[in-house]
Structure 1
Amino acid sequence: MKNILCLLAVFLLYTAASAQNSLTGSITSKIKKEPVSATVYIQQLEKGTAADFDGNYMLKNIPDGNYNVVFSSLGYATISKKINFSNSQNVTENLQLEESAVEMEEVIVSTPFHKLQSDNVMKVERISTQDLNASGAITLADGIKNIAGVNIISTGTGIGKPVIRGLSSNRVLTYTQGVRLENQQFGDEHGLGINDSGVESVEVIKGPASLLYGSDALGGVLYLNPEKFAISGETHGDLSSTYFSNTLATSTNLGVKTSGEKLKFLARGSYSSFSDYKSGGDYRVTNSRFNEKDFKTGVQYLGGKFKSTLRYNYNRSNIGIAEEIGEQSHSKDLELPFQEIDNHILSFDNTVFFNNSSLDVKAGYLFNDRREFEDDKATAALRLKLKTFNYDVKYNLPELGNFETIVGLQGMFQNNKNEGEEILIPDANTTDIGLLATSHYHLEKIDFQAGIRFDSRKIESEAARNPLEEDFISALDKTFTSFTAALGAKLDLVKNLSARINLASGFRAPNLAELTSNGIHEGTNRYERGNQNLTNEQNFQTDIALEYRNEHVELFANGFYNAVSDYIFISPTNEMMDDTPVYDYLQNNANLYGGEFGFHLHPHPLDWLHFESSFETVTGKLDNDDYLPLIPANSLRNTFRVELNDGKTRKSSSAFVTLENTFSQKNISKFETRTGGYSLLSAGIESSFQLQKVLLKLGINGTNLTDKAYVSHLSRFKPDGIFNIGRSINVNLKVEI
């Protein structure tokens, strides 16, 4: 024990005495030669600073290594520059930023090499949660459907599951705090369980990402970037509250963060409470009410040779289960039946820096306690406890010429246990392990990226119920393996015109519900029978993206074709059990195809004026020409937006009007019905005011302003003819210090 303590002491002393580098310089505008108060940020270190009014900046305490340093400011083109630091250097970098009407670029975190979007081989959609909230989103899941190619399967306003290009549930992987989220996401009525409080931005990979993330990323990845720590030497606090008129709801959020040169800390808490939502049909949907408590905290240490970040998130969600239109009430007290869900996420992210390479080690522990109360508020009829430990080890090799290479090891240990009277899925253990290697090759006009991966998943479940009864679930012991690969290129074809071509394979091992179900699933009102003979889903997607941008306009066209072998789907039979229709899990090959197209007009010199339009379409069919279920309808979204940066007291103002046209969905599966089209109008205005050291933000927005009575094709209330949410006027107030 003494030897261990001595070694630890020596290591800490070595770290404290390690060489520290610094970066200084000045930033000016290229044409006017005026100083620019730009932000200087190093994503790998999660470290940044802001230039002063004279354009001068200093960034200290930088470990040895090669880092992409990003220089950005509103109204200027973002620059990413690779800089080498070693031997206690004071590196000087004076830059001139070029004026640009194109919005500021951010570093993409969900892909491995931390590039700006313009340098990234994969096309990744990114949007800040601030923008999602400004659009009137009730929850994080509700907000992501504003991203082209993304939608949600909704159960009222409290539950939303992401859909990426027609694929959802276990085919879409969610990452938060740098670790994969596991919360029984196989269920249609199981939501994200993540509050937007403390989430800075959302990134979406649209297409197979199994190379980076393994099983369950066959359809894409929803990557939630946590709130950044404060800049070194600064302390900030904020308080915000939002009122939603439709649900008579309030959502309150309080946060504080402080940073020294090496040690950083933040904490944030929020509480939201919603009553039953009022539909466009002028009735309230009984027991669609919900409330949510959320707490997030984090601490980070940056030394001369390593960086460590510890984050924790606790979320308690109480969600009513709406079954029919009953008593009209404004009450926020839950009625039976309802869900009560506790979600704990603990993540530990460490990076060790060497002279020309680095080692990233991430570990996560997640505990999801899901309880469903049906007849008694004191005793849960269904209780599932899911414990997950996952790890992610990546070594960033020394750069060899224009080559950047990463090798990695990922894995997961998971235990599922039942503690209620009802059994939805049996007690089981799941073990994952994956090995990967990926490289990025950069030339002046073209970038290549390629990789390969091997995965193994072992599922062991216990037998459940009486072996003599029809609903008996036998024990399971199966192993699923797969190789996946990806190859992509980004080409600068001519000035302002670029293309991305990506070929990627993915896989998904069947989940416990698909393998072992044998009983009535109350949430879907059907008797589901699993199939222990199911095999891996494998897919191969071709993705082509074209993008043109100049000082006046941006145009984009993204097309994809996704071939899925052994696609798992649930299909009705002609049987009845316990007066409930029986559905079996089957497999067949499937194909999905479509894309997103649009433009963004920002005519120079009227850079404050924006007009954005996007169209998205996806079609999914089995090999027998039957359409896949839960495929979103085609939609067209048009937004007129004004953004003004006024200066001293009124720092900024913005306003928008959005018209979203959703077309009829006629391409339906055997157990779906057609859904009519509809148009939704929303608008909002927001301003921020600088009052000495206090920044005050005021905003008001409205969604479904015409109070349209409509049903989304992806609403789980659709079979009951229950309309989606009607008009809502939302008011937000935020104070930052």
Structure 2
Amino acid sequence: MRYLILAICILCVSTAFAQKASLTGRVTANNTPLAYASVMLAGTRHGATTDQQGFYEIKNLTGGQYLVVFSSVGYYPERIKATVADGTVAALSADLKEGSSKLNEVVVTGVSRATELRSNPVPIAVMTKADIDQHVNNNIIDAIIKGVPGVTAVTTGPNISKPFIRGLGYNRVLTLYDGIRQEGQQWGDEHGIEIDQYGISRAEVIKGPASLTYGSDALAGVINLIPYIPNGDEGKLKGDFATDYHTNNGLIGSSLGLSYKKNDWKYAFRITGKMAHNYQNKIDGPVYNSAFREYIASGMVRTDKKWGYSQLAATIYNNQQEIPDGSRDSLTRKFTKQVAEGSNDDIKNRPFAPEDLLKSYAITPLHQHIQHYRIYSKTEFKLGDGVLDASIGGQQSVRREYNHPTQPQQAGLYVTLNTLNYDLRYSPPVFAGIETSFGVNGIYQTNRSKAATDFPIPDYNLFDVGGFFFAKKTIGKTDISGGIRYDTRNIRWDDFYVGPNAANGFEQRVAANTPGGRLQFPNFNHNYHGISGSLGLTYNLSENLLLKANIARGYRAPNITEIGSNGLDPGAHIVYLGNRSFVPEFNLQEDLGFIAYLKDADITAEIFNNQVQNYIYQSRLDDENGNPVIIVPGNSTYQYQQSKARLYGAEFSFNLHPHNLKWFSLNNSLAYVVGLNQNEKLIAQSNGAAKYLPFIPPLHIRSALAIKLQGTYGIFSKVTLRAEADIYSAQNRFYALNNTETATPGYTLINTGISTTVTHKGGKPLFDLFLQADNLFDVAYQSNLNRLKYFEYYDSSPNGRLGIYNIGRNLSFKVIVPF
């Protein structure tokens, strides 16, 4: 790694000897100055943002011919060629026409080389920072759920959201940070994505197999979270300070970001802190042990040169998250606190959770501690008309779960995951109208248990590598693209023995010949292979009407818990049992889509059919008498199963924005998915209880009304009023075998909000203010994807309510101060 960093630094300090040139001008819309418009030089990283009067300036250019792209949300982009001579200042202005620019947004997630959204047959959704900022969220995944139909999340309280796309999640959804795959024990239920929500400038979501570009673990899709890259005024320190507060759980979040641009160099730094006490609802009151505390820091340095660019970045994540277990008094339904262990722990006679802890920001002894460290570099070289991209990154995820009340400093689970990411791809010059790319990427990974008492998975080594080829060609009004990929993954571990630990009375890892030791994980060494690919086309009926069709085959190797688990995960309160004979999952998905970006409305309609071979899922384990198998008291036992499966459904959106009513917009979306288990023998044996797949979201309809008041009102401008209805139907199609899941009633949540920019008397923005009320009518509900729904120790309760309910009414306030 140090040699790579040294090489990058040597490349970064190289400079051109020619005199630098500049490009200046003004961007307008109907001859009115357009502020915050983007001006980019295509094929380079040079660019600028217009000021309040619409002016821009791009300095330190090398003489030559450029394609200048002018764009702004709500306007059609303009592309103009410009010639700039060394040592001169060239002028170029543009007047943009109103319309939608979404079809021309450049995305890089779903394919091997940059492409426009309109020409990509794969279903892709893009969220900008403005979209993300419109809502006050507990984490970045919650923001995406509100903005992208078909994306949901399995949750364990307000701060833990694991993304699902069209009913598939865990290791089937690949999360990327700046194009680098996120690795942090994704198999676990009880911790979320280790990424700073305040530092994301753009989110791109692929809905469907994306194994072509990224290999295993992208069977359901990809979420690429792209951090902010400075592109402001030359030689000026810029930044922003964001803070928000939530009344329900007292969440206090603050984030400070700084950026600087000078000549060819760009720098960015951000530090974020969040803390919250227990959340509450009108059924449970404060939910004991749901508080959290989170700190994140990130930094980036980048240089843009004539030969390309190079970037070095690092992030540090530290999270303390309490672990709820749902234990209560059987009569009062008040939460109780675990103070003893083993045979001394009488769940039905635990003491009440102290009132002073229910709204305290202090983290209780029973919690998990997640740390994630990342450093990575990305470099792009322009080789004539071709482009060579290389990235390499190192990550470490440290996960500790403290579940021993009598020995609070003793971790029940303590694992360290180290990952090396690598990616090398080349996009040759276009030949005969065909754009191509090919490359190789993968990961090397080691996981090690430390001083723990529970060992749900063995120590393992994993090496993954895959190569791909991609091609795209436009024939008339039709864009055709596709490719093929081959992957191989080796996973292995040695014999893993555990035995008694006299020092603490629990178990520890021991040598093979230790008295009292037992073999928990016999050695394993296996190679998995997979071929994936895709073929799709986009037919341009007109500039704003598109038909899309795509067929893709995805591949996923089984993850470590599915093949190797044999023990308690304390934070999940689950004993996992894996199966060493599992084979890889493969799926074949067909997508059809229609997109219309019209003068007064946007319409999208997408339908999909996804056939999965060797689908792996969890099922609660019962004995021959129908009683739950209890290996560790107070914890459920789940065994992984494998069978054929089919998922099908649709997403539809209709966004109304009348051209003559600029102040009005009404956005509506619908998402529907059905998940069928095709293990006919199991379905017959269970009398239909196993007919459906677990964790399938119900029909979801979302409608959002926005009224943007025109003009200014004293110091207030850009005043927007919002009202939203989130409608979830009842979910009666669930995996009912052994009561793994239960039916979930439908519910409707009403959210309202107002946002505005507060300005000086001269019109200069001071800060953006967001006020929001979620679950306005304090509806008592349980999402079918809420794991806490199943945290229950009794078969019945005095109030007829079982499990823990979702968060109640929440008022939130957010301020973003740019400077």
CA separation in 2, counterparts of 1:603 and 1:45?
A: 36
CA separation in 2, counterparts of 1:501 and 1:66?
A: 37
CA deviation vs aligned residue, 1:13-38 (integer Å, no higher than 9, x gap): 86433797765665444xx4455453
- Higher mean Cα deviation, 726-735 or 375-384? 375-384
CA separation in 1, counterparts of 2:676 and 2:81?
A: 45
Show the counterpart of 2:425: 394
Q: 1:701 to 1:118 in 2, by over 3 A?
A: same
Query: What is the percentage of aligned positions where both structures have the same residue?
Result: 31
Q: 1:216 to 1:12 in 2, by over 3 A?
A: closer
CA deviation vs aligned residue, 1:604-655 (integer Å, no higher than 9, x gap): 2112210011111011112126210011111111110123463696442212
Show the counterpart of 2:204: 203
From 557, 567, 580, the equivalent of 1:519 is 567
CA separation in 1, counterparts of 2:81 and 2:248?
A: 49
Show the counterpart of 1:345: 374
- Are 1:732 and 2:808 matched, yes or no? no
Pairwise mapping of residues 86-125 of structure 1 onto structure 2 (< 5 A)? 95-100=94-99, 106-111=105-110, 112-125=112-125
Secondary structure of residue in 1 paired with 2:289? coil
- Any conservation in 2 of the 1:154–1:715 contact (CA below 8 Å)? yes
CA separation in 2, counterparts of 1:113 and 1:735?
A: 35
- Are 1:672 and 2:728 matched, yes or no? no
CA separation in 2, counterparts of 1:24 and 1:263?
A: 20
From 695, 700, 707, the equivalent of 1:642 is 707
Equivalent pairs counted in the alignment come to 731
Q: 1:239 to 1:8 in 2, by over 3 A?
A: closer
Show the counterpart of 1:76: 75
Pairwise mapping of residues 170-209 of structure 1 onto structure 2 (< 5 A)? 170-209=171-210
Secondary structure of residue in 1 paired with 2:583? coil
CA deviation vs aligned residue, 1:550-571 (integer Å, no higher than 9, x gap): 1111111111001111111223
CA separation in 2, counterparts of 1:12 and 1:673?
A: 57
CA deviation vs aligned residue, 1:403-462 (integer Å, no higher than 9, x gap): 221111102111100002321211111101111111221345221111111111110112
- Higher mean Cα deviation, 136-145 or 475-484? 136-145
**1:218 shift after superposition:** 0.5
CA deviation vs aligned residue, 1:379-412 (integer Å, no higher than 9, x gap): 3221110110111111111112422211111021
TM value normalised by structure 2: 0.84
**1:236 shift after superposition:** 0.9
- Any conservation in 1 of the 2:457–2:567 contact (CA below 8 Å)? no
CA deviation vs aligned residue, 1:205-235 (integer Å, no higher than 9, x gap): 0000000111000011111011121325032
The residue identity in structure 1 corresponding to 2:268 is L
- Are 1:703 and 2:774 matched, yes or no? yes
Secondary structure of residue in 2 paired with 1:145? helix
- Higher mean Cα deviation, 570-579 or 240-249? 570-579
Secondary structure of residue in 2 paired with 1:76? coil
Cα RMSD between the aligned structures?
A: 2.9
Show the counterpart of 2:582: 534
- Any conservation in 2 of the 1:176–1:225 contact (CA below 8 Å)? yes
CA separation in 1, counterparts of 2:757 and 2:74?
A: 18
Secondary structure of residue in 2 paired with 1:551? coil
CA separation in 2, counterparts of 1:528 and 1:512?
A: 11
**1:74 shift after superposition:** 4.1
- Higher mean Cα deviation, 494-503 or 643-652? 643-652
- Any conservation in 2 of the 1:76–1:104 contact (CA below 8 Å)? no
- Are 1:685 and 2:754 matched, yes or no? yes
Q: 1:460 to 1:84 in 2, by over 3 A?
A: farther
Pairwise mapping of residues 600-679 of structure 1 onto structure 2 (< 5 A)? 600-623=655-678, 624=680, 626-644=691-709, 646=711, 650-669=716-735, 670=737, 671-679=740-748
Q: 1:220 to 1:82 in 2, by over 3 A?
A: farther
Pairwise mapping of residues 128-527 of structure 1 onto structure 2 (< 5 A)? 128-146=128-146, 147-233=148-234, 234-281=236-283, 283-324=285-326, 325-326=335-336, 327=353, 328=355, 329-375=358-404, 376-419=407-450, 420-466=452-498, 472-494=520-542, 496-527=544-575
The residue identity in structure 1 corresponding to 2:96 is L
- Any conservation in 1 of the 2:284–2:804 contact (CA below 8 Å)? no
Show the counterpart of 2:39: 40
Q: 1:18 to 1:571 in 2, by over 3 A?
A: farther
Q: 1:226 to 1:532 in 2, by over 3 A?
A: same
The residue identity in structure 2 corresponding to 1:707 is D
- Any conservation in 2 of the 1:177–1:347 contact (CA below 8 Å)? no
CA separation in 1, counterparts of 2:636 and 2:9?
A: 66
- Higher mean Cα deviation, 453-462 or 105-114? 105-114
- Are 1:722 and 2:751 matched, yes or no? no
CA deviation vs aligned residue, 1:453-483 (integer Å, no higher than 9, x gap): 1111110112212589887211111111111
- Higher mean Cα deviation, 135-144 or 610-619? 135-144
CA separation in 1, counterparts of 2:254 and 2:7?
A: 46
- Any conservation in 1 of the 2:174–2:221 contact (CA below 8 Å)? yes
Q: 1:264 to 1:14 in 2, by over 3 A?
A: closer
The residue identity in structure 2 corresponding to 1:655 is L
Q: 1:39 to 1:527 in 2, by over 3 A?
A: closer
- Higher mean Cα deviation, 171-180 or 116-125? 116-125
Q: 1:70 to 1:377 in 2, by over 3 A?
A: farther
- Any conservation in 1 of the 2:78–2:94 contact (CA below 8 Å)? no
- Any conservation in 2 of the 1:63–1:305 contact (CA below 8 Å)? no
**1:690 shift after superposition:** 3.1
TM value normalised by structure 1: 0.93
**1:287 shift after superposition:** 0.6
Which 5+ residue runs of structure 2 have no aligned equivalent? 327-334, 337-352, 499-511, 624-628, 684-690, 793-802
CA deviation vs aligned residue, 1:566-585 (integer Å, no higher than 9, x gap): 11122344433536664332
CA separation in 1, counterparts of 2:268 and 2:41?
A: 19
Q: 1:602 to 1:437 in 2, by over 3 A?
A: same
- Higher mean Cα deviation, 570-579 or 706-715? 570-579
CA separation in 1, counterparts of 2:87 and 2:577?
A: 65
CA separation in 1, counterparts of 2:611 and 2:86?
A: 52
